[in-house]
Chain A
Amino acid sequence: MSAPSLTRLPAVSVDEAISNAMTPVADFISGIIFYSVKIGNPESISYIEFPVIVVWLVAAALFFTVYLKFQNVTGVKHAVDLVRGKYSQPSDAGEVSHFQALATAISGTVGLGNIAGVAVAVSIGGPGATFWMIMVGFLSMSTKMAECTLGVKYRVERPDGSVSGGPMYYLRDGLASIGKRRLGRVLAVMFALFCIGGALGGGNMFQANQATSQIINVTGGEDGPLGQWRFVIGLVFALGVAVVIIGGIKSIAKVTEKVVPFMAVLYVLGCLAVIFTNFTAIPDAIGQIFTGAFNPEGIAGGVIGVLIQGFQRAAFSNEAGVGSASIAHSAVKTNEPATEGFVSLLEPFIDTVVICTMTALAIVITGTWRDTSSAAGVETTSAAFATVAPWFPILLAVAVILFAFSTMISWSYYGMKATGYLFKDSPRAELGFKIVFCFFTVIGASLSLGPVIAFSDAMIFAMAIPNVIGLYLMARIIKKEIFGYRAKVRSGEHAMVDQ
């Protein structure tokens, strides 16, 4: 989700004006959210910068993994059974299934972080970053479980049958239930505000910007036929988003939702093709990943430096602790909040442990991570793809565009729900947000707004501050919910349904 490399464009006056106006504000906020502990002399190889927000997310993941007694290992089989509908009642037919809630959440999470972010991690941290990325992927499953269980438990079901859930509701109502009413309200409003910022930035401008760059790259770069038409590409994106979220044209949303999972599979297959085209390099690549994880050579900051890169990109990719996915998971039809907690375990697994690892392997095996001629990012992955066939990067470009589009649709929804929370579900406020969202799509695509994107990236991770505070405070509620449910499954009270 973060901005690994920002495309530099020829100076545009409007661009510069906006950039200049935004820079101090963006730097200030970004400086707080991404505050880094610096250890050592900046000139030396052992110099380390440790962004506190990454520690914040990884610590929460570690805490919930231990506190929930490794459900991320022991609960996976049950999660798969739930997704396969083995516990679904016949009367649940026609409502949102576990599979649908999971698929929707995944299409919001799988995005450029899986392609560009991983490339950045490996380029800076070396192959060993892959190992630490997978470790965080595993730990993050626990945070995701915690937030999605709460999301369902405290969701609001209206008389007409529509549902709203997510951190703003569990922060408000969950914390009120343990006597922290005022704190809950404050955290919920903070979360909703950051969520709107994150939706407009990382969930929209950054996606539009990177997808536009990809379109231009595969059509011949800045000198190609589309090189000078960023604004128009942005308009097309905005139009696509507008017909879905404002026009309510369900068919386009449906097509995207259908295409993205196939695209994810196709992307994984693409990576496998890269890996097996270079199969003689597989043992060496695996060796590099392990030795690089514990005994890296020539990596700034040594083992800690590698670890940070892996941690950072994994946390940024699967968004566990950010709270966004909890909004999507909350729509599921279930009487047991913990069921969706179990199902959500699979999300970081698919996102980080499977898809990010694929990207990392493709980059490590082909050695494109060593190439420092271009900025690390989608380009690095694209170069790895090009080792299979010259047209292979086009496949990647299509994947990038679709991932970006689906992430934009998902985040527009998250932002709209946050707006709805702040304005008591006022349709006018929600429409206002949607219009602003489309406007930001055009800005994101057409301008090189480095500081603005850094700012919006910061907003996404700012969401993790109120959210994780809430998770810690409600840890007992989460534990009770999950262990109570496990006991019901063991006793047969929550049994499989004969199909």
Chain B
Amino acid sequence: MSSLLVGIDRSASSRRAVAFAAQLASESGATLHIVHVIPWSPYSFTSPAENDQRGVSKHQEIATAEEQIILPAVAVTAEFSVTPTTSVVHGSPAELLVSIAAHLGGAHIVVGRTGDSRLKQALFGSTPVRLIQIAKTPVTVVP
């Protein structure tokens, strides 16, 4: 295992996933990449007023995620003396994690078990479930 990819959101299980992956990285010497995917689809419907502000909103969303999601996660990895690389991207979470993992040369994917609301999970299935169906590299789901 040369690289680890942790997909995170605001949930508590995400924090546990980061801790788990950081420990694994410090023990195995693998590199660690932390990513937060902002759910976004090119096929969603938007209003014209939203559209002309979209560029502004995109930057704000990324800045907020960096501050509120990525920074706390990096703080967790510091406890294990691991220095991760990070990114915040827009798109479909499971699909993007798979493509980033491939981009990192076949990274092992680590995610928390819960994240989406119960209703959303019931309707669309959760990101971990989708991930297990489509991943081309090993996936660890942390409870």
Interface residues of A (CB under 8 A from B): 85, 88, 90, 93-101, 103-104, 107-108, 157, 160-164, 244-245, 250, 253-254, 256-258, 260-261, 327-328, 330-333, 409-410, 413-414
**Residues of chain A lying within 8 A (CB to CB) of residue B42:** 85, 88, 93, 97-100
Known interface pairs A85-B42, A100-B42, A161-B59; A331-B47 also in contact (CB < 8 Å): no
Assess the A100–B58 pair: CB atoms within 8 A. no
B124 within 8 A of partner (CB): no
Say yes or no: A327 contacts B48, CB within 8 Å. Answer: yes
Partner of A410, one of B43, B48, B50, B54: B48
Q: Does B133 contact A (CB under 8 A)?
A: no
For residue B24, CB closer than 8 A to chain A, the reply is no
B134 at interface by CB-CB < 8 Å: no
Report A199 CB to chain B, min CB distance, Å. Answer: 12
What total of chain B residues lie within 8 Å of the partner, measured CB to CB?
24
Q: In the complex, which of the residues B43, B48, B58, B59 contacts A413, with contact meaning CB atoms closer than 8 Å? A: B48
Among B47, B51, B54, B91, contact of A254 (Cβ-Cβ < 8 Å): B47
Inter-chain pairs besides A97-B43, A161-B56, A161-B59, 11 sampled, C-beta below 8 Å: A95-B58, A96-B51, A101-B51, A107-B45, A108-B48, A157-B55, A253-B49, A256-B47, A257-B45, A328-B51, A330-B52
The answer to whether A94 and B38 touch (CB under 8 A), given A99-B43, A257-B45, A261-B45, is yes
Structural contact, A413 and B49, CB atoms closer than 8 A: yes
User: Using Cβ atoms and an 8 Å threshold, which residues of chain B touch A409?
Assistant: 47-48
Across-interface contacts of A98 in B (CB, < 8 A): 42
Q: Do the beta carbons of A96 and B45 come within 8 Å of each other?
A: no
The digit string for B104-141, where 1 denotes a CB below 8 A from any CB of A, is: 00000000000000000000000000000000000000
State the CA gap A287–B79 with chains docked (Å): 79
Supposing A94-B38, A161-B58, A162-B52 touch, asked if A250 and B91 sit within 8 A by C-beta, the answer is no
**B46 adjacent to chain A (CB < 8 Å):** yes
B6-63 residues at the A interface, CB under 8 angstroms: 38, 40, 42-56, 58-59, 61-62
Is B55 in contact with A163, judged by CB distance below 8 angstroms?
A: yes
Contact between chains at B53 and A162 (CB < 8 Å): yes
CB-based contact A104/B43 at 8 Å: no
A100 touches B51 (CB 8 A): yes
* Cα distance, A374 to B38, chains bound together (Å): 53
Chain A residues near B38 (CB-CB < 8 A): 94
User: How many angstroms between the C-alpha atoms of A260 and B46 in the bound complex?
Assistant: 11
CB pair A250–B47 under 8 Å, yes or no, is yes
Question: Which chain A residues lie closer than 8 Å to B61 at the CB level?
Answer: 94
Given contacts A100-B42, A104-B46, A253-B47, contact A95 B54 (CB under 8 A): yes
A-B residue pairs, 6 tightest by C-beta: A161-B55, A94-B90, A97-B42, A331-B51, A257-B45, A253-B47
Is B89 interfacial (CB-CB < 8 Å)?
Answer: yes
Q: Give the shortest distance, in Å, between A279 (CB) and chain B (any CB).
A: 33
Alpha-carbon distance between A414 and B90 when the two chains are bound, in angstroms = 28
Nearest-Cβ distance from residue A249 to partner chain B, whole angstroms: 11
Question: Which residues of the other chain, A, contact B52 by a CB distance below 8 angstroms?
Answer: 162-164, 330-331
B46 contact set on A, CB distance < 8 A: 96, 100, 103-104, 254, 257
B90 touches A103 (CB 8 A): no
A103: chain B residues at CB < 8 Å are 45-46
**Shortest Cβ distance from B55 into A: residue:** A161
Q: Is the CB of A93 within 8 A of B47?
A: no
CB within 8 Å of A: which B72-115 residues: 89-91
**Of A94, A163, A328, which is within 8 A of B40 by CB?**
A94
List A contacts of B43 (CB < 8 A): 97, 99-100
Q: Find B49's partner among A85, A97, A245, A333 (CB 8 Å cutoff).
A: A245
Residue in B48, B49, B54 with the greatest tally of chain A CB atoms within 10 Å: B48
